[in-house]
Amino acid sequence: MVVKVEGFAWNCNRHITPRFTEAELAGALERVYDRIVRLEEENRDLRSRFGSRD
C-alpha cells in the first residue's frame, strides 16, 4: 500500500487546547513587554548616535 500525503494541519486551532487565558499570559509577560520597550528605546538612541543601518 502506498500513501501519498498532500499536507498536514498539525497546528489547526480546532485541535489545540488553550492552556492559559489572555489575561493570565498578560500578567506573566508584562516584564517581557517592558524589556522590549526598553530595548527598542535603546536601539533608537544608538541609531541616532551612530547612524541608522537598516
Count of domains for the chain: 1
What's the pTM value of the predicted model, to 2 decimals?
0.56
Give CA–CA dist 49/54, Å, rounded.
14
- Do the domain assignments include residue 33? yes
> Comparing C-alpha atoms, which of 19, 44, 17, 1 is closest to residue 36?
44
17, 37, 46 from 13: Cα distances, Å: 8, 30, 41
Give CA–CA dist 42/4, Å, rounded.
51
Range of the domain at 42: 20-50
- Do the domain assignments include residue 1? no
Q: Which three cell numbers stand for residue 13?
A: 486551532
End-to-end CA distance of the chain: 53
Residue 19 pLDDT greater than 90, yes or no: no
Average pLDDT over residues 36-46: 96
Average pLDDT over residues 4-26: 80
